[in-house]
Amino acid sequence: MELKSLTYTSWARPRISDGDIEAILRSSHTNNPLEGIGGVLIFNGGAFMQVLEGSEKAVDDMAERLRADKRHSNFFIRDERLISERAFPDWSMAYLRLKDDEFVGEDRVQRALARAVPDATRNIIRALTQSLPVAR
């Protein structure tokens, strides 16, 4: 089966609440294992970055669902590619909340990433983390 990896960024709705984030994670933890989707969601208070991995159809369908979600806007696909193995095999949706400046965020993301993440994916995530706008 073809596996696909899709990475997007988006802007969180202004004044998005902790409850909204909890609801998003609840949906992810319920739906993603059923759809065979894994990945990581990164949130810095103002913007999201998410990597979705799974079958091509599951990932494309989820991306269309996410694009329509009113809790964020400016949904922008940064990378999509076919992959031979998952970088996030064990997570239905890992979650990282960045709170400090971009450097601390990058460092934390790098530390938290699975060792198995291929360099190419790691570099994309590093670049995207650096370009995530920081909420002030």
The region of 26-34, 81-89, 102-110, 117-125 touching ligand FMN under the rule CB under 6 A is 26-34
Which distant-in-sequence residues (6+ apart) come within 8 Å of 101 by Cβ?
134
Residues 70 and 56 sit within 8 Å (Cβ to Cβ): no
- The Cα 49–Cα 125 span in angstroms is 9
Is residue 9 near ligand FMN by the rule CB under 6 A? no
Beta bridge partners of 39: 52
Binding mask 84-113 for ligand FMN (x = CB under 6 A): ---------x--------------------
Q: How far is CA 18 from CA 12, 22, 91, 105, in A?
A: 12, 6, 21, 19
- Residues 35-74 close enough to bind ligand FMN by CB under 6 A: 41, 48, 50, 65-66, 69, 71-72
Query: Among residues 3, 11, 31, 126, which is the contact residue for ligand FMN, using CB under 6 A?
Result: 31
Min dist. Cβ of residue 100 to ligand FMN (A) = 21
**Contact positions vs ligand FMN (CB under 6 A):** 24, 27-28, 30-32, 41, 48, 50, 65-66, 69, 71-72, 93
